[in-house]
Structure 1
Amino acid sequence: MRALTWQGMQRVDIEEVPDPRIQEPTDAIVRVTSTAICGSDLHLYGVLAPYLHPGDVLGHEFMGIVEEVGSAVTALAPGDRVVVPFTIACGHCWMCERGLFSQCETTQNTDQGKGASLFGYTSLYGRVPGGQAEKVRVPFADVGPVKIPDDAHDERWLYLSDILPTAWQGVRYADVGADDTLVVLGAGPVGLLAASSARYMGVGRVISVDLVPERLEAARSRGAETLDLRDVGTRPEDVGEAIRALTEGRGADGVLDAVGMEAHGNPIAQTLIGAAARLPEPVAAKAVESFGIDRLAALHGAIQGVRRGGTVSLSGVYGGMADPMPMMDMFDKGLTLRMGQCNVRAWTDELIPIIRADGDSLGLESLATHHVPLERAPEMYETFQKKEDGCIKVVLHPERAQHPEEKP
């Protein structure tokens, strides 16, 4: 089958790889109809290169049609349409029973000191082949996959695999309500869905922060006020001052960081991170595990911009083991900090009725800016990383030579 594989620093290619097969009685094989490039995939494209191997199949946002099931699978049958959460969880361990699916003790990568295995996401998380491919082996098929209507639009459901529940969890973690202000740092896919989710939940005021014109306009179309970093600056203190100016000098009740480790605002850190990722693999891995390798402008901006006693919610991915943090400010302000890989299945029961409802209230079908065949994935990684051509979200279609909405 065809699949997108990692080949080196900022280099991915479409290759022929062996078809997946049933390995455990609880497995299913899913033929992929739609898969997406996530902002987290860009970390693999660059910063997290030391934890990848040439030929690794990428991708953790995907959906499709069940082709085959193992002998122990009872909830799915060939022909079912499903969307698959990016976290791989057993559903019955101590963590799963408490809704902490991203910490599943059955798929936990104890040798790496990490949580549950993830599709298409490095040797830190199980090195499980991902979904930017024609087919995928899905472990614990009775637990993860969500069955969807046969006639549903793919993109009404595709983002249930990751970015929609990630955004939803981020807003829930921010602990904001009808009388509160939520600031969302980053108007990429997760940030935009966070803005939509917050508006749906009835959060009183939502302010989206970014510096890309197309993203700011997309945030406004979802009911958010906007703060353009080109006008105020990208330094954390600039961001904090601008947020306070919009909130009676106090700061936001909650700040959701939907940016993560590759934030704008520190070109020196960007250069050092790029150099570290290009070191020989064992040396590079040691650098990641021993030093601060994140660009922290967004996180520090969140800490600056949240009010005293407020909450900072992290949906963006961070990977440094020794990142410098303003602990005095955090302690003095009495902040609550919540974060983590999304526990997708903890939120699906809330989200499914919203997705099913008429009107597409979360703006799922309008999020993608690019629909392309799988073969164009390598060029789209570069386009997405550089934020060129108005690119906000890329959806890949392994089964189609050309999608009717594809940009030329």
Structure 2
Amino acid sequence: MRAIVYQSPGNVTLQDVAPPQLQHPGDALVRVELAGICGTDLHVIAGDFAGIRPGAIIGHEFVGEIMAIGGAVTRFKVGNRVMSSDFTACGHCHWCDRGDHWECQERAFFGTGTSFGPALHGAQAEIVRVPHADTTLGLLPKGCSDEAAILLGDNLATGWAAIERGALLPGEIVAVIGGGSVGQLASLSAQAAGAGAVVIIEPSESRRTFARANGSLTVSPDEARTFIDSLTDGEGVDLVVEAVGAAATLTAAFDLVRKRGRIISVGAHATQNWSFPLAKSFANELTLGFAIGDSIRLRPRLLSLITTGILDPAVVVDRRTGFAGAAQAYADLKAQKVMKAVIDPRL
């Protein structure tokens, strides 16, 4: 089968590789019909995560059709069209029972090597093996497009997790640092949850234009503090969502939030250490948190928002390509020429 394979930092290639096989009774094999390229994948191919090794199939967002199941799979049958979380979880441990699937001891993150658990080949391939299929997969319902389902598996779940973790109250003002797909979907999530206003802070004019067309206020980073002061009478916003995954943008969040406000970071951080503004945080009673999207837990709620038309995450998809165009899509995403690209292995 064909797959996008990591070779070395900055280098991925399309290769013919052996197709996966069922390894455990809870496995399923899914014929991939659409796979996403995520900002986290840029970190992966850059070599930012130590666990990635040459030969790894990358990608963690996909929808497709089940082509084989293990003997312990009970929720699905061959021929079902399914969506997936970007990571696996057993579904029956202490953490899974609490809805904290990311903390599951059997977690594996598709396409990121051993960075976040046991190595598991990714989904930018014609076929992907899915462990713990009964938990990891969900049926693709009517009213949810393939693009929306891919985004629910990671980017939308992450954006919604930021708003959920930030305990947003109706009418509160939110600032989102970063206008990529996660930042845009965090903004749409905040709007759906009743935010009084959402400000996306983003250097790219094209991404600011997109955000304005989808209900956000926008500002460039160098004008952010002045703009937010004018919007909040100098107090700062109630909630800042950091959606870039960089130490500099996380530091910048502390200059935008009001006293007793909240900062939630959902960017994929690879830096090991960061200088925390401790005295300021104590004096202003600030709350700092981190969140990772849990599609397994959030899937029912987010599907309801999608199928009723309240939220359409697919608006961020602006490139659809086959395997032949994947390398260019990666380059264009890095250069911010596209916001969200998806790969159709059938093209």
TM-score range, shorter chain: over 0.9
**One-letter amino acid matched to 2:113:** T
Partner of 1:394: 341
Q: 1:49 to 1:256 in 2, by over 3 A?
A: closer
Q: Distance in 1 between matches of 2:200 and 2:240?
A: 10
Quick one: percent identity of the two aligned structures? Answer: 32
Q: Cα offset for 1:324?
A: 1.7
Partner of 2:203: 211
Q: Distance in 1 between matches of 2:334 and 2:259?
A: 35
**Is it true that 1:244 corresponds to 2:229 in the alignment?**
yes
Q: Cα offset for 1:333?
A: 1.6
Q: Cα offset for 1:298?
A: 1.0
**Is it true that 1:162 corresponds to 2:154 in the alignment?**
yes
Partner of 1:367: 316
Mapping 1:70-89, distance limit 5 Å:
70-89=70-89
Q: Distance in 1 between matches of 2:307 and 2:88?
A: 24
Q: Cα offset for 1:161?
A: 1.0
Partner of 2:169: 177
Partner SS, residue 365 of structure 1: helix
**1:338 aligned to which of 281, 285, 289:** 289
Q: Distance in 2 between matches of 1:170 and 1:373?
A: 32
Q: Distance in 2 between matches of 1:153 and 1:349?
A: 15
Instruction: List per-residue Cα deviations over 1:359-403 (Å, max 9, x = no partner).
Output: 4x3232322111100221112111110113xx1110110112xxx
**Is it true that 1:348 corresponds to 2:299 in the alignment?**
yes
Q: Distance in 2 between matches of 1:356 and 1:228?
A: 33
Alignment RMSD, CA only? 1.5
Q: Cα offset for 1:155?
A: 1.3
TM-score by length of 1: 0.82
Q: Cα offset for 1:320?
A: 2.2
Instruction: List per-residue Cα deviations over 1:268-311 (Å, max 9, x = no partner).
Output: xxxxxxxxxxxxxxxxxxxxxxxxxxxx2210111111111111
**One-letter amino acid matched to 2:114:** S
Partner of 1:102: 102
**Is it true that 1:255 corresponds to 2:240 in the alignment?**
yes
Q: Retained in 2: the 8 A contact 1:241–1:305?
A: no
Q: Distance in 2 between matches of 1:243 and 1:383?
A: 31
Q: Distance in 2 between matches of 1:200 and 1:149?
A: 21
Partner SS, residue 20 of structure 2: coil
Q: Cα offset for 1:122?
A: 2.7
Mapping 1:102-251, distance limit 5 Å:
102-105=102-105, 107=106, 116-125=107-116, 126-149=118-141, 152-229=144-221, 232=223, 239-251=224-236
Q: Distance in 1 between matches of 2:131 and 2:50?
A: 26
**One-letter amino acid matched to 2:172:** D
Q: Distance in 1 between matches of 2:143 and 2:290?
A: 35
Q: Distance in 1 between matches of 2:143 and 2:98?
A: 33
Q: How many residues align?
A: 346
Please list every run of 5 or more consecutive structure 1 residues that lacks an aligned counterpart in the other structure: 108-115, 233-238, 262-295, 401-408
Q: Retained in 2: the 8 A contact 1:91–1:143?
A: yes
Q: Cα offset for 1:49?
A: 5.3
**One-letter amino acid matched to 1:183:** A
Q: Cα offset for 1:240?
A: 4.1
Partner of 2:17: 17
Partner of 1:311: 262
Q: Retained in 1: the 8 A contact 2:93–2:104?
A: yes
Partner of 1:406: none
Instruction: List per-residue Cα deviations over 1:52-104 (Å, max 9, x = no partner).
Output: 21111100111100000000101000110101101210011011111110000
Q: 1:337 to 1:343 in 2, by over 3 A?
A: same
Partner SS, residue 219 of structure 2: strand
Instruction: List per-residue Cα deviations over 1:323-366 (Å, max 9, x = no partner).
Output: 22222222222111121322221211211111212x4x323232
**One-letter amino acid matched to 1:186:** G
Q: Cα offset for 1:31?
A: 0.4
Q: 1:326 to 1:7 in 2, by over 3 A?
A: same
Q: Cα offset for 1:6?
A: 0.6
Q: Distance in 2 between matches of 1:162 and 1:121?
A: 14
Q: Retained in 2: the 8 A contact 1:25–1:72?
A: yes
Q: Cα offset for 1:169?
A: 0.7
Q: Cα offset for 1:190?
A: 0.7
Q: 1:322 to 1:77 in 2, by over 3 A?
A: same
Partner of 2:328: 379
Instruction: List per-residue Cα deviations over 1:119-177 (Å, max 9, x = no partner).
Output: 11132222210011111000001111010136853113221111111111111112222
Q: Distance in 2 between matches of 1:337 and 1:344?
A: 22
TM-score by length of 2: 0.96
Partner of 1:39: 39
Partner SS, residue 146 of structure 1: strand
Partner SS, residue 261 of structure 2: strand
Q: Retained in 2: the 8 A contact 1:6–1:57?
A: yes
Q: Distance in 1 between matches of 2:128 and 2:34?
A: 12
Q: Distance in 2 between matches of 1:169 and 1:99?
A: 13
Q: Retained in 1: the 8 A contact 2:30–2:68?
A: yes
